[in-house]
A and B are shown apart, each in its own frame.
Chain A
Amino acid sequence: AQSVAQPEDQVNVAEGNPLTVKCTYSVSGNPYLFWYVQYPNRGLQFLLKYITGDNLVKGSYGFEAEFNKSQTSFHLKKPSALVSDSALYFCAVRIYGNNRLAFGKGNQVVVIP
């Protein structure tokens, strides 16, 4: 079975400060890892993914994530948060041959002006 944990319900950060949203996963195989963001009254938007290769993945809107196999983590980061980054962030995992995404419960990010 595959599962994702996003340990924090809400992340508060001041505008301009670094933003980190944590994600750990559990799979029985090599993981494919994804981050999605949901802005208010909008659908899920794809941010970035890790498939193979470099552990540091860069995505949309200045976000990046680092795959850490030993810690089974895929934390999302942004060096300098914007108020417009306030949204709900979901981490998800898949394994080869299994098409379903397993999502974490989501993290509400609040960027304080």
Chain B
Amino acid sequence: EAGVTQFPSHSVIEKGQTVTLRCDPISGHDNLYWYRRVMGKEIKFLLHFVKESKQDESGMPNNRFLAERTGGTYSTLKVQPAELEDSGVYFCASSQERQGRETQYFGPGTRLLVL
């Protein structure tokens, strides 16, 4: 069974540009999560999809971030326009259930550097 995949693995962009990150969850997982780790800090929750619906987007830092999950399969996270403080590693995770006890399986992350 394939794990969570993310694309690209790395992205270097200039301030003001747009970047779109993609996440493909484990097949059959309705729950998809985005997290972010800024250099040396904790991994922070961004948002949670159940199928195509946003269940919780309270962790999104501001309206420059837009997440979508059309059709309830893969998800994209767009940053527009990117700022220096957006640099970090963006992780995607997926899980089958959403009762708290299930394991979230993480992808390899996308390393974003905004110059």
Interface positions of A (Cβ within 8 A of B):
4, 32, 34, 36, 42-46, 49, 51, 90, 92, 94-106
Contacts and interface: CB of A to CB of B under 8 A. Distances in A.
A98 B104 CA distance: 13
Contacts of B43: 44, 90, 92, 101, 103, 106
A99 B55 contact: yes
A94 B97 CA distance: 14
Contacts of A104: 42
6 contacts: A43-B106, A46-B105, A99-B98, A99-B100, A100-B56, A102-B45
B108 A42 contact: yes
B74 interface: no
B8 interface: no
A90 B41 CA distance: 11
B45 A101 contact: yes
Nearest to A90: B43
B81 interface: no
Nearest to B101: A51
Interface of B: 4, 6, 31, 33, 35, 40-45, 48, 55-56, 59, 91, 93, 98-101, 103-109
A99 B31 contact: yes
A32 B101 contact: yes
A104 B40 CA distance: 11
B100 A32 contact: yes
A103 B41 CA distance: 10
Nearest to A30: B100
Contacts of B40: 105
Contacts of A103: 35, 42-44
Given A43-B4, A95-B100, 14 more contacts: A4-B42, A43-B91, A49-B103, A51-B101, A90-B43, A92-B43, A94-B100, A97-B99, A101-B35, A101-B45, A101-B104, A102-B42, A103-B44, A105-B41
B103 A100 contact: no
